[in-house]
Chains A and B, each alone.
Chain A
Amino acid sequence: MSEQVLPLAASTAHHDGPRPATFSWERAGIYAFLLVAALFFLLPIYTMVSTSLKTMAEVRATNVLMPPLAPTIEAWGAAWSQACTGLDCGGVQVGFLNSLKIVVPVVVLSILVGALNGYVLSFWRFRGANLVFTVLMFGAFIPLQMVLYPLVRLWSSLGLYGSLPGLIAVHVIFGLPVVTLMYRNFYAGLPIEIFKAARVDGAGFWRIFWSIFVPMSAPITIVVVIWQTTGAWNDYILGLTFGGRENAPMTVQLNNIIASQTGERQFNVEMAATMLTAMVPLLVYMVSGRWFVRGITAGAVKG
């Protein structure tokens, strides 16, 4: 292609090589806007990090925008293992463990059930499959608050209220419509002939699922892992309502720490606790943001 000589280029021989960079006001405007937006979003994070690295004496003495003069991770340690919620002074680590115990099973179960749902809705088109799908999608748009009270009554009559399995079940159920939609759309983008070939090869329902489609599902599964991990980790209302005292996730505990006002406010500890709580979703996005985009656009996998 590089050898191809356009008639135009022949007549204006001094135009050669890459087009030179040119300045334009539109471009400058775009970059200025992006810079301001980036600063705007970075400011709260900067404040949190810098405050969490100060001692209380320094917090009192300095402006909130001043960087720490003698950075210390004391407040982080305190937030992790000593911060108090009422009389409990175990730090946010209790909530961290609780959140792990919630998030891991939620993610695993969502993947299993969602993938299976998507597989059935894409390939085993039963009578009324479209109706089921529509109803399921309707579930994705029902506000949580509408079903909160009935679900509490139902769960308590089933003995699930305030228990870890009960909380996990609520998460999985509320996540299911979107996770199913993700898997269904992913499978719908695969050639149906693969499914037909597997049937001619004699494979049954489960065999086709486990041997053919599960191994192909990595791109969308990464998306679901990110989606459900951040969703379940950031959840507050479900943890507060269904978790009970023992299973309060990190978000609920963070709120308790910040809301319990005894004596002087420990701004540095509170900032550190908040950073610790936000760490998991933050890491997930930073590590897998690229995979997330790739997975969402990977609908059409070429065989």
Chain B
Amino acid sequence: MAEVEARNLSIRYGEFTALEKLDLTVPHGQFLVLLGPSGCGKSTLLNSIAGLQPITSGQIWIGGKNVTWAEPKDRGIAMVFQSYALYPKMTVRQNLSFGLKVAGVKAAEIAQRVQRAAETLQLHTMLDRRPAELSGGQRQRVAIGRVLVREAEVYLYDEPLSNLDAQLRVELRREIKRLHRHLGSTSIYVTHDQVEALTLADMIAVMNKGRIEQLGSPEEIYERPATRYVAAFIGSPAMNFIDGDIAIEAGKPVFKWGQASIPLDRYSFAAEARPGKATLGVRPEHIAHGEHAGGQDFLVETTIDLLEPMGSDTLVWCRTKEGQQIGLRVPTDLRPREGDAMPLGISVSSASLFDTASGLRL
């Protein structure tokens, strides 16, 4: 059992604070994705769990042991790096067996484990090649293989797919997920790619400026973002944000947007609704159009401003009379045209409301 825990973890470089009093628990067998833009501290957090990054204060616990001061090799971890980090002068076989050799594992056992990993990852035909003779995808497979042979309890991935082209990325992503299911060990995966996060994770931690903004399942993060920051970071195209006010009319909360007031009866508030500045967030796929537009909580008249055909569907960017931009996806066979009128229906039950000032979910 290898639960991973960061307790009150802070990391500073001089004046700069990379992580601030961070607490995080990853239960055994879970696949946690640390998601955020570059500089948010996600790689720093991963490196500190690996023991490759000195920490300023706090503790790291792995498998019920305090490993804050332990060497990387004594933490029961294995790690995959963005740049593959293969040893260039060693063959694939030597790359895979190096760690085991250092650990003093018997030659027969090393050969067996290398063989097994090579078969799992379809590397057995290239065991005697050097990394320079492999393609990017093959190199990253070797890097994953190097992690496999260690039979670690915790697998750490530092943006492992970022250097690969789109097709390979999708392929290896599936392979990593399958591997995790198969091994059942704890995995922590750093990425800035929301699609990777949503597809791989059991749990996502969205990070911002050295803090975790929200920790939750991919569904929670996507459907009920805790802050406007999380809402904006996840989802492509991005969530539509409409600034307005919450008012109480006849004892019921409504969202005032220009002349319009949208009833909020069907929105589930986190706390009791209070009047004040608020931002309504609606995902592009939750905006109804055509014959469905009328049946929603609110109907808004717009014209089509710009089209972005994506193959299976088309991104339609509409504009209201007041200049508010709203994006949505429509099936390509609908053949929208720029300049056409486009009535849109917004349903508040699937929308998110944020306090405009604090960015917190209401």
Which residues of A are in contact with B by a Cβ distance under 8 Å?
Answer: 191, 193-194, 196-203, 207, 211-212, 215-216, 301-303
Contact = CB atoms under 8 A, between A and B. Distances in A.
B102 interface: yes
Please list the 6 inter-chain residue pairs (A to B) with the smallest Cβ-Cβ separation, ordered nearest first.
A202-B73, A201-B99, A193-B85, A215-B89, A197-B85, A193-B81
B69 to A, nearest CB: 15
A202 B102 contact: yes
A216 B90 CA distance: 10
A201 B102 contact: yes
A103 B145 CA distance: 45
Instruction: Please indicate which of the listed interface residues A196, A211, A212 has the most CB atoms of chain B within 10 Å of its own CB.
Output: A196
B88 A196 contact: no
Given A193-B81, A193-B82, A200-B73, A301 B88 contact: yes
Contacts of B73: 199-202
B102 A303 contact: no
A54 B87 CA distance: 57
A303 B52 contact: no
Given A202-B99, A203-B98, A216 B146 contact: no
B266 to A, nearest CB: 50
B103 A194 contact: no
B146 A197 contact: yes
Contacts of A216: 88-89
B52 A199 contact: yes
B214 interface: no
B131 to A, nearest CB: 6
Contact of B87 (A198, A199, A302): A198
Interface of B: 47, 50-52, 71-73, 77-79, 81-90, 98-99, 102-103, 131-132, 139, 143, 146, 150, 158
A200 B86 CA distance: 12
Contacts of B83: 191, 193, 303
11 contacts: A193-B85, A194-B85, A194-B86, A196-B79, A199-B51, A200-B77, A201-B99, A215-B90, A216-B88, A301-B88, A303-B85
Nearest to B131: A303
Nearest to A190: B88
Contacts of B82: 193
Contact of B85 (A191, A207, A211): A191
Contacts of B50: 196, 200
B81 A196 contact: yes
A298 to B, nearest CB: 12
Given A191-B83, A193-B82, A200-B73, A207 B102 contact: yes
Contacts of A211: 87, 98
A200 B83 CA distance: 15
A215 B91 CA distance: 13
Contacts of B102: 201-203, 207
A202 B85 contact: no
A211 B86 CA distance: 13
A200 to B, nearest CB: 5
A100 B109 CA distance: 49
